[in-house]
Structure 1
Amino acid sequence: MKKLSISKKMLLAILILLPSTDFTLSAQDTLKLDLSKALEIALSENPTVKVANKEIEKKKYAQKGAYAPLFPQINFSADYNRTLKKQVMYLDGFGAMGGGSETTTPTEGTETMDISKGIEVGRDNNWSYGFNASMPLVAPTLWKSLTISAIDVELAVEKARSSKIAMVNQVKKSFYGVLLANDSYRVFKSSYDNSMENYQDIKKKFDQGLVAEYDLIRADVSVKNAIPNMLQAENALTLAKWQLKALLGMDLDLAIDCEGKLTEFENELYADYLSTDTSLVNNSDLKQLDIQSNQLKETIKMQKFEYLPTLSLSGMYQWSAMNNNFKFSEYRWNPYSVVGVSLSIPIFSGGGKYHKIKQSQVTLEQLSLQREDAKRNLQLALKQYLDNMNTCIKKFNAAQKGVSQSEKGYQIAQKRYETGSGTLLELNDAELALTQSRLNYNQAIYDYMIAKSDLEKTLGEQK
């Protein structure tokens, strides 16, 4: 029976651990990513984009809060005052003129009171509570601030768009970097495989006494030299994936695999270059400067409105009571209410409003100069990106022909060495040329896609 109970406990523990074991295995599965999926994840999970969206939400709440002063402001207040020294009041006509003195005639059961010394008024405890209300009727400055709040939301939306454009640019460049590292690893792996294949073939010939020991040593050295390049490319691939996962807001330990090769983008080279629109109408930096300029113009109008009169409505309804004790049940609460209109006409403020307007106008001129300078720099950047794309197309054409020729040259060198009419040096040289041409081919496509991504960012495109 004891053995049976132990077996049941072990079975129960296994059943409990099975779901967690299955989850651990599924969590370690490789996540397949293409460019569109990577962009989708980045725009939904990246902290920078989330912060930008929160900024829009915050500005919208601020815009709604700007309407609050237009509504009646109602407050409840309660006051208590303890009289330490009562106020003395003098009544003219009830005493001797010229500072004389007179006492009142006492009645039976009362004390004589000297009126010339004044009469203390008030009681020890003074209570009041009630409601106060106010509402602006004519407030030009307040009305104009609502327009500025709306522009502030527009600016926040444009800044969020700019953050998304920058994020798309970073994710694209990082994704292309992973593809380049992956393609480079394949090139070095292919070079290693060729070196290993040549080494095994030469070793067989050496064992048969057909080649010299020098060829065997050179073949072995070629294999050893190919290993560091392959390991370095593998390490570069790991670092590129870490960078991409950081941009996507993923756990760095999550295994990912970027689908595709750089060669899949070679058909886009000519079409993209020929159909590129270099208009800066959607550039986010210029749009932000334009929005800031409009906001500053509205601010100047609001500052000018400070010269206009304001009219407000106010009202109050309160209850008050005074007593010399704390017997609240005996208190007499007297209501008190008032309604009024307040008109304020600014006449002189020491020149503060005038200088504030002049300061804003100078800021507006600075903003205009900044926009002109930014536009010139952006036009220069566009020319550089287009020139880089044109150069990359030329490099791609040369690299494409180089790959074709180097593959053919390697095959010829391999046949020549097998037939004994060629040397190992020729074969190694052909292998090195093939590796370099393949790397140049991938690098040309990568450089073009990077320049294209930077161009799209400058143009304000989010693809």
Structure 2
Amino acid sequence: MIHERSIAYSSLLAAALFLYGAGAQGQTLRLSLQEVVSLAAKHNRTLKASGIDIAVAQEQRRVARSLSLPSASLGAQYAHYFELPVFFGIGETNGDPDKVAYSRFGGRDQFSAALSVAQPLYNPSAKPAQREAALQEKASRTLYLDKTVDLTAAVKRTYLGILVLNKRLQLQHESLQRNEKALQDARSLLAQGRALRVDTLRAYTSVKNLQPDILKLTKAIEVGKLQLTTLMGLDSLQDIMLTDSLAHPAAASIPAAATVYTEARANRPDLQQLRLQQEIREQGIALAKARRLPVVSLVGQYQLQSQARSFRFFDASWPGASFAGAQVTLPLFSGSSNKARIQQARLTHEQAGIELTDAYEQLRTEVRQVIANLQETFERVQTQTQVKETAKLSYDIIQYRYQKGVASRLELTDAELALTTAQLNYLEAVYDYLAAGIELDRTRGKQ
């Protein structure tokens, strides 16, 4: 009986843990903008792949460093002769003086092992290769930083877009409530014979026109949250809730275009990478020239060899031989490939310089465009704020007049539509202004 109770208790405990885990997996993550940016920086898959590029560049740097380090190799060889090995110059020629005498002797089984060591003394390719590898690693880190800046801007724009969609959805619901109230009033007045049927039809049409917009906004919010979870590197099934709210943008001083250009030129990771690419290709010229120079190395070898009959190496002799010396390798002719590599490296270096100059010119245009967008959207926010307040005041006045029987239903419907339009235009202006600020930070190279 006790055993059955313990089994039942264990089963209930396991079921409770399972339900708790399922509930934990279904929990909604409440995230602020900074938390979303932090999660994206840690878990975004594109950044992880870019981080692997840094590790690859570090390994390439070790490969380049090995050009100046000693190398050692161990080799072995075994051969079985079906006839005894031949040695010329020893033996008889059977009376024919035109033939070279030879004899067969030795073991049918031969084995040799050698340990070879080489230490480069002068390798002209070593320094350029090491500098190039170091610059490649730095370029990989710069590329990672550039992707981080772009990711941060994308996360902020997506987060901001969802906030705007939520606010638009709220406004549409408020408009729907006003129009449903107007429809109820119209139906009541029609039943009392105090209103026309066309007023009821107009109110009914307004209600039905709002419902597809609400559905569209709802689906757009779902898609936006899915994009945000993808940027954060989370499971697409994870539900999230945004805790920040959309606030009226405060007045901010707009920086001068020259200041932004100077800051962007110094801090933009993509521009830094272009400069690094120019330096890398400069080292490519030096590396191509180094392939035409001699390589000097110290070499040494220790060798053991033996011959045996019937594979009896344990009873055979194992004489050793060793040597040490210097080796010089001078390339004389390689089908003009070295000359072509040098010219190719010079052309790519010239190409990098043109790309960098073009990037600087494009940056001037980009900075002016960003500053212009920031100024235009800020002025639009101020204008739409006044329009929204005026539309709200107008709606309140017409609603009061309608309740007093002075204004018509058509006037109230037009005022409600104007209020909704003004509120939506204000939201669009706020989004454009905040997005312009995000683009300004990205242009400056800020995260």
The two structures have a TM-score, normalised by structure 1, of: 0.87
Report the Cα offset of residue 26 of structure 1: 2.9
- Quote the Cα distance in structure 2 between the aligned partners of 1:423 and 1:74: 99
Report the Cα offset of residue 97 of structure 1: 9.9
Q: Which amino acid counterpart does residue 383 of structure 1 have in structure 2?
A: R
- Quote the Cα distance in structure 1 between the aligned partners of 2:340 and 2:312: 59
- The worse-fitting range, judged by mean Cα deviation, of 351-360 and 200-209 is 200-209
Among 51, 68, 71, the alignment partner of 1:70 is: 68
Query: Secondary structure in 2 aligned to 1:183?
Result: helix
Q: Which amino acid counterpart does residue 369 of structure 1 have in structure 2?
A: I
2:20 equivalent to 1:22: yes
Query: Secondary structure in 2 aligned to 1:277?
Result: helix
Query: Secondary structure in 2 aligned to 1:75?
Result: strand
- The worse-fitting range, judged by mean Cα deviation, of 54-63 and 374-383 is 374-383
Q: Which amino acid counterpart does residue 247 of structure 1 have in structure 2?
A: L
What does 1:188-267 correspond to in 2, within 5 Å? 188-203=172-187, 210-264=194-248, 266-267=249-250
- Quote the Cα distance in structure 2 between the aligned partners of 1:199 and 1:6: 65
Report the Cα offset of residue 327 of structure 1: 2.0
Q: Which amino acid counterpart does residue 136 of structure 2 have in structure 1?
A: D
CA 1:351–1:74 in 2, change beyond 3 Å: closer, same or farther?
same
Gaps of 5+ in 1: 102-115
What does 1:122-201 correspond to in 2, within 5 Å? 122-201=106-185
Report the Cα offset of residue 324 of structure 1: 2.5
Report the Cα offset of residue 351 of structure 1: 3.8
- The worse-fitting range, judged by mean Cα deviation, of 447-456 and 50-59 is 447-456
Report the Cα offset of residue 418 of structure 1: 0.3
* Superposed CA offset, 1:294-329 (max 9, x none): 011112112222333321011111111112222233
Query: Secondary structure in 2 aligned to 1:126?
Result: strand
Number of residues of Structure 1 aligned to a counterpart in Structure 2: 443
- 2:254/2:375 contact within 8 Å kept: no
Q: Residue 310 of structure 2 aligns with which residue?
A: 325
Report the Cα offset of residue 96 of structure 1: 11
Q: Residue 86 of structure 2 aligns with which residue?
A: 87
Report the Cα offset of residue 12 of structure 1: 4.4
Report the Cα offset of residue 164 of structure 1: 0.7
CA 1:203–1:327 in 2, change beyond 3 Å: closer, same or farther?
same
- 1:30/1:257 contact within 8 Å kept: yes
- 1:303/1:356 contact within 8 Å kept: yes
* Superposed CA offset, 1:118-156 (max 9, x none): 433433221111311111111121232111111110111
Q: Which amino acid counterpart does residue 86 of structure 2 have in structure 1?
A: Q
- 1:188/1:233 contact within 8 Å kept: no
- Quote the Cα distance in structure 2 between the aligned partners of 1:96 and 1:6: 104
Among 273, 296, 299, the alignment partner of 1:314 is: 299
Gaps of 5+ in 2: none
2:253 equivalent to 1:271: yes
CA 1:5–1:100 in 2, change beyond 3 Å: closer, same or farther?
closer
- Among all aligned residue pairs of Structure 1 and Structure 2, give the percentage whose two residues are the same amino acid: 25
- Quote the Cα distance in structure 2 between the aligned partners of 1:243 and 1:81: 66
CA 1:100–1:180 in 2, change beyond 3 Å: closer, same or farther?
closer
Query: Secondary structure in 1 aligned to 2:125?
Result: helix
Report the Cα offset of residue 363 of structure 1: 1.6
- Quote the Cα distance in structure 2 between the aligned partners of 1:68 and 1:431: 76
- Quote the Cα distance in structure 1 between the aligned partners of 2:289 and 2:319: 46
- 1:246/1:252 contact within 8 Å kept: yes
Query: Secondary structure in 2 aligned to 1:25?
Result: helix
Q: Residue 407 of structure 1 aligns with which residue?
A: 392
- Quote the Cα distance in structure 1 between the aligned partners of 2:188 and 2:56: 75
2:419 equivalent to 1:437: no
Q: Residue 291 of structure 1 aligns with which residue?
A: 276
CA 1:96–1:15 in 2, change beyond 3 Å: closer, same or farther?
closer
Report the Cα offset of residue 434 of structure 1: 0.6
CA 1:361–1:118 in 2, change beyond 3 Å: closer, same or farther?
closer
- Quote the Cα distance in structure 2 between the aligned partners of 1:278 and 1:166: 18
- Quote the Cα distance in structure 2 between the aligned partners of 1:221 and 1:6: 67
Query: Secondary structure in 1 aligned to 2:266?
Result: coil
Report the Cα offset of residue 222 of structure 1: 2.9
Query: Secondary structure in 2 aligned to 1:281?
Result: helix
The two structures have a TM-score, normalised by structure 2, of: 0.90
- 2:254/2:371 contact within 8 Å kept: no
CA 1:100–1:311 in 2, change beyond 3 Å: closer, same or farther?
closer
* Superposed CA offset, 1:379-433 (max 9, x none): 2222222222222112111110111000000001101110000001111111111
Q: Residue 267 of structure 2 aligns with which residue?
A: 282
CA 1:196–1:327 in 2, change beyond 3 Å: closer, same or farther?
same
- 2:169/2:214 contact within 8 Å kept: yes
CA 1:91–1:66 in 2, change beyond 3 Å: closer, same or farther?
same
Query: Secondary structure in 2 aligned to 1:314?
Result: strand
Report the Cα offset of residue 244 of structure 1: 1.2
- Quote the Cα distance in structure 2 between the aligned partners of 1:46 and 1:315: 51
Query: Secondary structure in 2 aligned to 1:271?
Result: coil
Largest Rg, 1 or 2: 1
2:353 equivalent to 1:368: yes
Query: Secondary structure in 2 aligned to 1:341?
Result: strand
* Superposed CA offset, 1:87-138 (max 9, x none): 242359x99999399xxxxxxxxxxxxxx95433433221111311111111
- 1:192/1:230 contact within 8 Å kept: no
Q: Residue 107 of structure 1 aligns with which residue?
A: none
Q: Which amino acid counterpart does residue 338 of structure 1 have in structure 2?
A: F
Report the Cα offset of residue 22 of structure 1: 2.0
Q: Which amino acid counterpart does residue 277 of structure 1 have in structure 2?
A: V
Query: Secondary structure in 1 aligned to 2:164?
Result: helix
Among 371, 378, 385, the alignment partner of 1:386 is: 371
Q: Residue 397 of structure 1 aligns with which residue?
A: 382
Query: Secondary structure in 1 aligned to 2:17?
Result: helix
